[in-house]
Amino acid sequence: MTVTHRTQSTRRRPRPGTAGPGQTGDTATRDRAVTSHVDPTTPGTRRPDGAWRDGDPVGRRQFAHIGDVELERGGVLPDVRIAYETWGRLNEAGDNVILVEHALTGDSHVIGEADDGHASPGWWNALIGPGGPVDPERWFVIASNVLGGCQGSTGPASPAPDGRPWGSRFPYVTVRDQVAVERRLLDGLGIRRLAAVVGGSMGGMRAVEWAVTHPDDVDRCIVLASTAYATADQIAWCQPQLLAIRNDPDFAGGDYYEGHTRPDTGLGLARRIAHITYRTETELGTRFGREPQLGEDPLRSGDRGRFAVESYLDHHAGKLARRFDANSYVVLTEAMNSHDVGRDRGGLEAALQRVRAECTIVSVDTDRLYPPRLSDELHAALPHSRRAHITSEFGHDGFLIEEDQVGRIVRDALERRLD
C-alpha cells in the first residue's frame, strides 16, 4: 500500500511549512500547492458533479493506495485509493487509535473550516480538539472518506482503468466491503488495534460491522442513531430517493460526467425526502408552521409562492448538489440497504455474540428513521453493552446537533475502564 502523507494539526487551519509523519517542512508546503481548481458553482466552469477531483486543492486529506479489492458480491475493484485525515499522534504502544466513521453525505473532514480543499466545514466540529471529548493530545484519530464516496476515495466519479470516470460501471459495494477497505488502510498505516470505533447513522453501521468482523481488533464500539441491519422502512424511504436520481434525464444512466448538465433535480429531490426523515414533525411545525417564505405567500404572490418549510428543503437540496455526487449518493444508499451484520453468520444474535468490544449504544428519542427500539435490540444482543440516550427535538440529526450530550457520552465511553 502506498501512502501519501499530508500535514495534520489540531488547529483549524494548518500552519505553512509544518510537517506530518514522514515529511519535511518543504514537502508539506509543496503538497498544499494549488495547481488547478474549478469552482462547480462558477458559471462557465460548472462541473457535472460535486465530487473532489485530482488537481483540486487537497486540503487536509492524505491518500492511501491499497490496491485491488475483492468485493463481497463478486468481482474486483482495481487500484483503490482512500482519502483520510488524522489528528494527534500514534503512541509507541499503538493502542490510542480512534476511528471516526461518517454518515451518508459526510467525508473525512470531521473538524475544520470550509476552504479551497473542503466544500463544507467539519460535520462533527465539537468532537475532536484539545480538552474535547476526543483529545488529540491523548488519542490518534483517523477518519476516511468511505469507499464509493466522492471526496477523494475511489468512487463512481474516479477514473476507471480506461481513464474515464466509472459512472454506471461502478460496482455494487456493501458495508462489509467498506470496512474491509478501512482494515486495509489501517494495516498500511501499521495499525492493528482500535481503542474505539465511533460512528452515527451510516457510520454507526460500519462501527457495528467493525466490531463483528474484527472482534479481536476493537476495544470499544460507540454507535449513535444506527442499527444492526437496514429495516424495511429504511429501505422503503431510500427507494423514492434512488428513483428520483435515476429518473432525472440529466442522470444519463449514471454516465453524466463528460456532459454539460448535472442531475441536480434528482439529487435535490432525494435530499428533500431524506431530510424530512432526519427531522421531526414537531421541529418543523415549531420552526416554520404554516408561514410563507418572505415575499412568496402562495395565496397572495403573483407567481406560485412557497411556504417557509419548502424554502428550507430547497436550501438543503441546493447545498448538497454543490458538494456531492449523485452517483455516490446512489452507491452509498445501496450500501446502507445491504447492511445486515447477521447475513451469512447465523443471524443477528449469533453475529453479535462474536463482539468482544465494550459497546455504547446511543439513540435519539425522537428519531423516526432509526427509532430507539433498534438500539434496544442491538444493546440486548451484545455481550458487553451500555445504553445511552440523546434527548432532542431534532430527530435523527440529533446525533450531530446535540453536541454537549454526544460529547459527554463519547467522553464517558472512552474513559470507562475495560473489563
- The strand pairing partners of 128, in sequence order, are 134
Set 56, 264, 367, 397: catalytic member = 367
Mark whether 115 is an active-site residue: no
pLDDT value of residue 48 = 56
H or E element that contains 405: helix 403-415
Strand pairing class (220-224; 76-87) = unpaired
Mark whether 367 is an active-site residue: yes
Cα dihedral sign, 377-380-386-388: positive
Set 108, 201, 226, 363: catalytic member = 201
Q: pLDDT digit string (tens) for 17-43? A: 223 333 323 222 222 222 223 333 343
pLDDT value of residue 44 = 39
Cα 413 to Cα 375: distance, rounded to the nearest angstrom: 16
Which residues of the chain fall below pLDDT 70?
1-48, 301
pLDDT value of residue 25 = 30
CB 63 within 8 A of CB 3: yes
Q: Whose CA is closest to 84, among 141, 166, 11? A: 141
The three-class DSSP label of residue 418 is coil
Q: pLDDT digit string (tens) for 395-407? A: 999 999 999 999 9
C-alpha angle with apex 80: 76 to 81, nearest 5 degrees?
170
**E strand residue ranges, 151-252:** 196-200, 220-224
Cα 225 to Cα 229: distance, rounded to the nearest angstrom: 12
Set 102, 214, 379, 396: catalytic member = 396
pLDDT value of residue 34 = 26
pLDDT value of residue 195 = 98
Mark whether 396 is an active-site residue: yes
Cα 93 to Cα 395: distance, rounded to the nearest angstrom: 40
- The angle that helices 264-278 and 308-323 make with each other, rounded to 10 degrees, is 120
Cα–Cα distances in Å, from 48 out to 51, 57, 165, 260, 303?
Answer: 9, 18, 12, 6, 30
All cell numbers assigned to 182: 478501512
Q: What is the pTM of this model?
A: 0.89
